[in-house]
């Protein structure tokens, strides 16, 4: 419990995390695989509790995810968002903003695999609940059709694999990011 709020499974995410061996598989302008090794830093902080219509109780953590090319150290992805948890239904929600004109609200259920907590969420373009919004340019040039993310938390290890299904350069493509991170500090505020 932090400041009188029970964060449930989200409490395990709090703090700073560092990954050294991530891999980004994205399309190049010939719609071929372009693989980029990366390092990443994830910081999760408490965001508090929320109540909707005096019926739904949520807790949330906010995050920032910075990804750097291993070869140069240059940032090529800087993302912000929230993870939300509804204890009554065990629903997990992941809202994220990608600074290319794409916003996603993905949802799913919390599960376990052995001792690990599994946050498994998805969103589909056109869905009224867990969906994708994108700028006119992105819709025309690099349309996001779907998003899935599986984040696995066990002790001080956090791994994820996310897939963004795109239509880009005239072809369908699965943009995949995967990494394994180690908690370096626990600081919820």
Radius of gyration of the chain (CA): 17
Q: Is there a domain that residue 2 lies in?
A: no
Confidence (pLDDT) at 158: 97
The pLDDT of residue 161 is above 60 = yes
DSSP letters spanning 30-63: TS-EEEEEEEEEEEEEEEEEEEETTTEEEEEEEE
The pLDDT of residue 93 is above 80 = yes
Write b or e for each residue in 67-106: b if 16 or more Cβ atoms lie within 10 A of its Cβ, otherwise e: bbeeeeeeeebebebbbbbbeeeebbbbbbebeeebbbbb
With contact defined as beta carbons under 8 Å apart, do 60 and 47 qualify? yes
Confidence (pLDDT) at 45: 96
Q: Is there a domain that residue 23 lies in?
A: yes
What's the CATH code of the domain at 174? 2.40.128.20
pLDDT, tens only, 23-52: 988 876 554 568 888 999 999 999 999 999
Q: Is there a domain that residue 3 lies in?
A: no
Structural domain boundaries enclosing 148: 8-185
C-alpha dihedral, 93 to 98 to 102 to 107, nearest 10°: -10
- Model pTM score: 0.91
């Amino acid at each position: 419990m932090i400041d009188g709020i029970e964060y449930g499974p989200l409490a395990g995410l709090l703090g700073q995390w560092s990954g050294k061996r991530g891999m980004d598989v994205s399309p190049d302008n010939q719609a071929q695989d372009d693989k980029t090794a990366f390092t990443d830093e994830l910081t999760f902080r408490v965001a508090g509790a929320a109540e909707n219509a005096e019926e739904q109780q949520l807790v949330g953590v906010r995050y920032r995810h910075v990804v750097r090319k291993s070869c140069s150290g240059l940032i090529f992805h800087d993302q912000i968002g929230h993870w939300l948890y509804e204890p009554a239904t065990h629903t997990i929600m992941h809202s994220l903003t990608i600074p290319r004109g794409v916003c996603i609200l993905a949802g799913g259920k919390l599960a376990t695999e052995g001792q690990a907590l599994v946050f498994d969420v998805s969103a589909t373009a056109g869905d009224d609940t867990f969906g994708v919004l994108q700028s006119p340019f992105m819709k025309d040039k690099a349309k996001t059709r779907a998003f899935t993310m599986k984040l696995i938390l066990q002790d001080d290890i956090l791994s994820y694999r996310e897939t963004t299904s795109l239509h880009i350069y005239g072809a369908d493509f699965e943009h995949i990011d995967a990494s394994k991170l180690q908690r370096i500090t626990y600081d919820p505020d």
